Amino acid sequence: MRAIRFKPNLISLAVLSTLSLSMHSMSQDTSSSVRGKVMTDDGRTVTNATVTITHENTGRQVDTAVNESGVFVVNGLRVGGPYTIEVDTTEFTDTTLNDVFLVQGNNTNFNFTVGSTVVLEEVMVTGSRVDRQPGRDFSADDITKSASIDRDLRDTLKRNPLAVLDGDEFSVAGANPRTNAFVVDGIRQNDNFGLNSNGYPTQRSPISLDAVESVSLNVAPYSVTQGGFTGGQINVITKSGTNELTGSVFYEFTDDSMAGDKVAGENYEGLISEETTWGVSAGFPIIQDTLFGFLSYEKFDKPLNPEFGPAGSGLANESNVTQADWDRIDSIAQQTYGLASIGSYATKPVEEDEKILAKIDWQISDDHRLAATYQHTLGNRTNLVSSNPFSLNASSYWYDKEEELETFVMIANSDWSDVFSTEVKLGYKDTTTNQQPFYDLGIGQVAVRSSSGTVNFGVDQYRQANRLNNQTTEFLFKGNYLLGDHQITFGYNYENVDVFNLFVPAAKGSWSFSSIDDFENGLVDRFNYSNAASGNAEDAAASFSMVTNTFFIEDLWTVTDKLDINYGIRYEQISMPDSPATNQNFVNRYGFDNSSTFDGESMILPRIGFDYTVTDDFVLSGGIGKFSGGSPLVWMSNSYSNDGQSALTYFGGWDPTWPIDFAQVPADATAGLVGGDGLVNAVSPNFDIPYDWRYSLRAETYWDIPLLSDSVEIAAEVMIKHNKNDVRWVDLSRRYIGEDGTGRTVYETYDPLTQSNTDRYDLMLTNAQDDGKSTIFTLSMANDWSNGWSMFTSYTYQDVTEGTQGSSSTARSNYQYPVTRYDRNGTTLGPGYWQSEHRFTLSLNWEKELFSGYETSVNMFYEARSGRPLSWVLGSYRDGGLGDQPSLQGSDAYLPYIPVDANDPNVAYGWGLDYDTLMSAVNEIGLGGHAGDIVPRGVDTQPWIRSLDLNISQEIPGFTDEHRGVVTLSFVNVLNMLNDDWGVYRSQSFNNKILVDHDYDPASGVYTYSVPFGQQGLETKNWDRVNPERSVWQLKLGLRYNF
């Protein structure tokens, strides 16, 4: 039971009625609940009381009687407030509690103690809002006052001690960002397919900040009504209309003149593009006290500038391709091949985003409420604009990645009696990703090499047949029944996800020319073409559905007015009626079918949690629970897309006698498509769904700290997580040879069908040999002062151990790039990919009316965290000695063996390297203790990251006394403004850094180490890049009118 500090204004009256508040965490609810018990001051149960709860802004009034145990409960209440709670008894003092605000997804306890002597007058207690748990629950005011350039909720949520926002990736408790759940009004809006690194189904946040009433971040909620994540759960509640017309209009702007241009002594001009965002929102009554509406609209626009062009083009960076070469290729394309143009390198790319939300709240009666929300988000960004000097891409090669999200959810909350209530939800989500040419010539891809670079035009081969759509339908029924001191919650949830994933490279053809002369003379160097046998690429798309049926029941037991225990069980069952097409060649090779899915998988998820108010100043809470869900669907989709036979490939090369028409693949090439024995991705027939056990204990207390406050909230929490059935990918197309002198497993490529070595790689999703675990500890301190200051500070320690991180959407990348110590097909445990071992945060806020009636607010957020783990690896280039196929030989994934001495027989030296030079670098890094062994994964750490964000806002007069204008300045990375050596974001690409290049001889078992290609010597620093956009300071101006 979480104790809430309540500070009454009428102290003399409050002594007649003692009020105890607690909050019990519930599910991904769209509403709040009030629960409590009425007793006399001498400990007797009051059984003849009526509790009335009134929402002041809509007039909704709910009356409920206490039961034989003196307990009452009201579900389905709007988040926020203000509420008035009245306790009416015929025998004792009546009590009224005003100005109550409720938090989403929490069952808030109000335990009333009434005087045993009859008093005629009513006791009224005016209180502050119910406190949110610092760092977990955030109001609309918290969101508005957080510094944010991108208008993203994650800029507020990163104040949570367990949350780390690193670029686009939002990791909670060190977990894979793809395993988070992002829920808006009860509908999951995370990228459940798993392509986007930001975790959204859209390129920017799918919801406008002005539409959000509150947001919370949960990590270990022990209610069995929750599911679908193994990372964190972000629960968003949108605003609703009231009996008064309220709303806002805003405009925000930033550009390069409002940003820094110097990082660690280096100048960076033109980093920040102009951005404008404007929007309007309004809540209003349609029928007073009965029907309410809310509307929100937001528009974002960011014209971009191309970065590379030929010398003299006026663009920021020079391409190796000359203007003369560009002009000649363009002229040949027009005169020889009949094209109007190849496009331009100087056209402005675009980034834009539009968000719409509409919501209706219908108070059917005091006992029944219906809410319906519609949301539409459409975003687009131009991609494949030239980003390096080696290739100059024409606008016909660029593509617009357009992502569209459309959702609808309807929720009915009903109180059928004083003891029984229900919630019924019907939801639908439709997400579509289209990749369309920026300037469509109606042709395939063409690449022409010049003496100094390459010019690309036409549709990129990977966008010629590339489209994703998934539709989610959800139904939920949940019932709540009050039985004495027990609140029984039970229900059923149905979720169906339909997936259509089209990806066929070079479906319109891809032509490459070795020189401009060859291009002029029609001499094709390489030609690629793939398609379905029918000639219609869509016939090769992955199309399947996955249904999850969930049943749950739990009991929230009020053991005493100090102790709540909730315990329950959740059952999930997966059904997949569609299977990947069986590839008989695969069956003949490996002896099992490639058509396995998650069909029939089921899981029982028990959980128990508690809240115990030991004293008024000391509260314990925690629990034990089993969690599952959140794994990207794309891992399953790979088996449908890569069955080795749906998409066929032409291997015959270009026939010089064929006429060249970039808009038409030659008929002979179409007729020459072959397949049936392509590469296969499969799921192991013995695959088990991953899950984890979580154990947590939280202690909260209030300390009197001299010179600070007499009521500082101190909280400490520890969470332990044990993973089960972690994932890994294995290559079936290799055979065990043995172990070399370092202890590493050596393979050879092997095709059982031909009984010979092979270049093929068939990958299987299966479970890890060893599972990961984590221990997370947080310590926090919070306080509000009466002079307008408030503070929240925290320290978090993470110890995360994991194997394959699953950071990619493709089976090949998930197999190829995770570092390996002893066995490429095994599991290499080490520090988690997203771990931040140490993290300190400080939120400091000040609010004051410097001008009477007009608030000034300053909100600061400081973060210092250790970098992600760093693994030192062996550089690889065409090194197949350990059993890697040519397509997998450039992965830089093998961890290095450290020789015992200069005569270690496992290591030889070449290309300017000797033992002493190697060991000098090894010792400098700190790897010398691993001599005679292969270095473990993640033994080093990338540089610390430090940042300071600041948001300043000032209210100004509006057109009426009730209206306010607001001027806002949002600063990010203020440290860089103070000193360009501060706030620098340094990191290592992919968390791996090459120690030495290697060549392995399987015959002798000797590794030959050499200086990495392109380096003058061995590098020992723990980073390879500075991100200038994230290192410079930036300012955004906001203008708002609230009415």
Strand partners, 311: none
Window from 94-103, 558-567, 649-658, 678-687 with minimum mean pLDDT: 94-103
pLDDT value at 374 more than 60: yes
Query: What are the φ/ψ torsions at residue 560 (nearest 5 degrees)?
Result: -140, 180
- As a whole number of angstroms, the distance between CA 1012 and CA 896 comes to 13
Q: How many helices, marked H, and strands, marked E, lie in the chain?
A: 12, 62
Burial 235-266, CB ≥16 within 10 A → b, else e: bbbbbbbbbeebbbbbebebbbebbbbbbeee
- As a whole number of angstroms, the distance between CA 326 and CA 832 comes to 47
CB 678 within 8 A of CB 532: no
29 pLDDT tier (thresholds 50, 70, 90): low
CB-based contacts of 791: which residues, under 8 Å, 6+ apart?
781, 782, 783, 842, 843, 844, 845
What is the model's pLDDT at position 28? 53
CB 288 within 8 A of CB 244: no
Q: Could you report the per-residue pLDDT of 797-838, keeping only the tens digit for each?
A: 999 999 999 988 889 999 999 999 999 999 999 999 999 999
Q: What is the mean pLDDT of residues 654-673?
A: 95
pLDDT value at 788 more than 70: yes
Q: What is the mean pLDDT of residues 603-614?
A: 96
Token pair, residue 926, equals: 């700190």
CB 292 within 8 A of CB 285: yes
Q: Could you report the per-residue pLDDT of 861-896, keeping only the tens digit for each?
A: 999 999 999 999 999 988 999 999 998 998 899 999
Altogether, the residues listed in the chain come to a count of: 1043
Closest residue by Cα to residue 713 from 732, 699, 697, 692: 699
Q: Which helix (H) or strand (E) holds 516?
A: helix 516-521
- As a whole number of angstroms, the distance between CA 193 and CA 866 comes to 30
Average pLDDT, the chain: 91
The residue type found at 951 is: N
- As a whole number of angstroms, the distance between CA 1030 and CA 528 comes to 39
Q: What is the mean pLDDT of residues 919-948?
A: 97
Residue ranges of E strands in 140-199: 163-166, 169-172, 181-184, 187-188
Dihedral sign for Cα atoms in the order 763, 766, 771, 775 = positive
Closest residue by Cα to residue 79 from 209, 197, 237, 192: 237
995 pLDDT tier (thresholds 50, 70, 90): very high
Q: Could you report the per-residue pLDDT of 83-121, keeping only the tens digit for each?
A: 888 888 877 877 888 888 887 766 677 777 776 544 434
**Choice between 572 and 311, residue whose per-residue pLDDT is larger:** 572
- As a whole number of angstroms, the distance between CA 778 and CA 981 comes to 30
What is the model's pLDDT at position 135? 80
- As a whole number of angstroms, the distance between CA 75 and CA 1027 comes to 48
- As a whole number of angstroms, the distance between CA 1006 and CA 1004 comes to 5
Using alpha carbons only, how large is the chain's radius of gyration in Å?
31
125 pLDDT tier (thresholds 50, 70, 90): very low
Query: What are the φ/ψ torsions at residue 481 (nearest 5 degrees)?
Result: -130, 125
- As a whole number of angstroms, the distance between CA 147 and CA 156 comes to 8
Token pair, residue 172, equals: 């909670």
- As a whole number of angstroms, the distance between CA 807 and CA 211 comes to 31
**Choice between 122 and 71, residue whose per-residue pLDDT is larger:** 71
CB-based contacts of 522: which residues, under 8 Å, 6+ apart?
336, 656, 660
CB-based contacts of 541: which residues, under 8 Å, 6+ apart?
467, 500, 501, 502, 503, 504, 641
CB 232 within 8 A of CB 219: yes
- As a whole number of angstroms, the distance between CA 474 and CA 550 comes to 11
What is the model's pLDDT at position 1? 38
- As a whole number of angstroms, the distance between CA 101 and CA 615 comes to 24
pTM of the model: 0.89
Residue ranges of E strands in 732-886: 734-739, 745-749, 763-767, 773-784, 789-802, 830-831, 838-851, 854-865, 869-875
A 10 A CB-CB count for 848 gives: 12
Window from 130-144, 600-614, 897-911, 986-1000 with minimum mean pLDDT: 130-144
pLDDT value at 128 more than 60: no
DSSP 155: H
Token pair, residue 412, equals: 């009915």
CB 152 within 8 A of CB 163: no
- As a whole number of angstroms, the distance between CA 384 and CA 388 comes to 11
**Choice between 128 and 217, residue whose per-residue pLDDT is larger:** 217
Half-sphere exposure of 994 (CA within 13 A, CB side): 19
- As a whole number of angstroms, the distance between CA 936 and CA 933 comes to 9
DSSP 256: G
Closest residue by Cα to residue 194 from 142, 156, 231: 231
Q: Which helix (H) or strand (E) holds 518?
A: helix 516-521
**Choice between 42 and 488, residue whose per-residue pLDDT is larger:** 488
- As a whole number of angstroms, the distance between CA 1041 and CA 963 comes to 7
- As a whole number of angstroms, the distance between CA 303 and CA 273 comes to 7
What is the model's pLDDT at position 114? 72
All structural domains of the chain, each given as residue ranges with its CATH number in brackets, are 2-126 (2.60.40.1120)
CB 234 within 8 A of CB 217: yes
126 pLDDT tier (thresholds 50, 70, 90): very low
Q: Could you report the per-residue pLDDT of 616-653, keeping only the tens digit for each?
A: 889 999 999 999 988 888 899 999 999 999 989 998 89
CB 405 within 8 A of CB 429: yes
Q: What is the mean pLDDT of residues 11-25?
A: 36
pLDDT value at 6 more than 90: no
pLDDT value at 73 more than 90: no
Q: Which helix (H) or strand (E) holds 327?
A: helix 323-335
Q: Which helix (H) or strand (E) holds 51?
A: strand 49-55
Closest residue by Cα to residue 33 from 72, 61, 63, 67: 72
CB 295 within 8 A of CB 208: no
CB-based contacts of 98: which residues, under 8 Å, 6+ apart?
82, 84, 124, 125, 126, 127
What is the model's pLDDT at position 456? 98
Token pair, residue 620, equals: 């314990």
Closest residue by Cα to residue 737 from 883, 880, 874: 883
A 10 A CB-CB count for 340 gives: 9
CB 665 within 8 A of CB 697: no
Q: Could you report the per-residue pLDDT of 686-708, keeping only the tens digit for each?
A: 999 999 999 999 999 999 999 88
CB 844 within 8 A of CB 147: no
